[in-house]
Amino acid sequence: MSEELVLEDREISLKDKMKKEITTIRGLTLIISFTGLVFLATSIFFIAIPTSEGFFNIGEVFVYLAALIGGPVTGSIAGGLGASMADLALGYGYFAPGTFIIKAIEGFVVGLLYHYSLRIKKWIKILFIGIMCAFLIGFSSFLFNSDYEIGLALYNGTVFSSIIPGYSFLIISLVLSAILISVIVFLKEKGEMAISCVTGGAFIVVGYFFYETVILSQTFSKAVVEIPFNIAQVIFGAAIAIPIVSYLIELGVLKSTSKPETEKKDKLIEDSEEKLK
């Protein structure tokens, strides 16, 4: 098999998959359904964060379900459109443009990595996760010597406020890094899902931080306060979405990305590439 055919096979698979997401009844149904679910999950249950002018929500659950079940296009549209509409409905319109772009990227990345994870060599995944962990630890170390005020506003108007030390961010970063490395080493398909969700989730953590500081001109301390809440959204979303998708795969409702025939096809492609070197 020539190098051109190998590359063409991969390109066609990717294009065909994404085309089906927007040209088939099943694909369009998933997009519409998950867009509505992301909107409802984001707007019905949320906790305001007065110190950052943002809010915590559970919309990530359905962004990840959309991406893992439907694919990158489904995850992108459902995440970007559903979440930005929720921002407008809740009175956080100043976040809507950023949310549309950030959540669309998040959904696309999660869907792309999961559905095409077998085509990515393991050492590349480990290297990428290592870079993410290094960035997370490095950034949290920068916050080590400062204290930050975190506040929550509930439906009844009650506001809780607390001061957390900067070293808390470093502890959280070290724990998350250990978990991420363990996941990629010891788990298989669930590990692929987790890595996909966490990688996509990294875009909302970094994306919102820069959106708040650069576009909304918020202070550094205000933007930092929202980081742990965004990380919590990613963890919560992955913790709910992954077991649901895994169970649907076990029931035979969804196809596994690690099916033997898929692995065999990718092995043939990889062997062909080796012969061309």
Question: CA 244 to CA 68: how far, in whole Å?
Answer: 10
Give exposure, 243-265, as e/b (b: 16+ Cβ within 10 Å): eebbeebeeeeeeebeeeeeeee
The dihedral sign for the CA sequence 112, 113, 115, 120: positive
Look at residue 273 in the predicted model and tell me its pLDDT.
Answer: 53
CB 111 within 8 A of CB 71: yes
What tens-digit pLDDT sequence spans the chain (277 residues)? Answer: 444 444 444 445 667 778 888 889 999 999 999 999 999 999 988 888 776 777 889 999 999 999 999 999 999 999 999 999 999 999 999 999 999 999 999 999 999 989 887 666 666 767 777 777 777 777 777 666 665 555 555 554 555 556 667 677 777 778 777 777 777 667 777 888 988 998 899 899 989 999 999 999 888 878 888 888 888 899 889 989 999 999 999 898 888 776 544 444 445 555 555 655 5
CB 180 within 8 A of CB 47: no
Instruction: Give domain limits for the chain.
Output: 3-121+151-156+192-267
CB 31 within 8 A of CB 78: yes
Look at residue 228 in the predicted model and tell me its pLDDT.
Answer: 82
Question: CA 236 to CA 254: how far, in whole Å?
Answer: 22
Look at residue 223 in the predicted model and tell me its pLDDT.
Answer: 84
CB 149 within 8 A of CB 162: yes
Instruction: For the chain, report the end-to-end CA distance as a whole number of angstroms.
Output: 12
The residue type at 167: Y
Look at residue 248 in the predicted model and tell me its pLDDT.
Answer: 93
CB 113 within 8 A of CB 191: no
Look at residue 272 in the predicted model and tell me its pLDDT.
Answer: 57
Tokens of 241: 């979405």
Written in H, E and C, the secondary structure of 21-45 is HHHCHHHHHHHHHHHHHHHHHHHHC
Topology (CATH level 3) of domain 3-121+151-156+192-267: Arp2/3 complex 21 kDa subunit ARPC3 (1.10.1760)
- Single out the residue of 63, 193, 202, 5 nearest to residue 115, CA to CA: 193
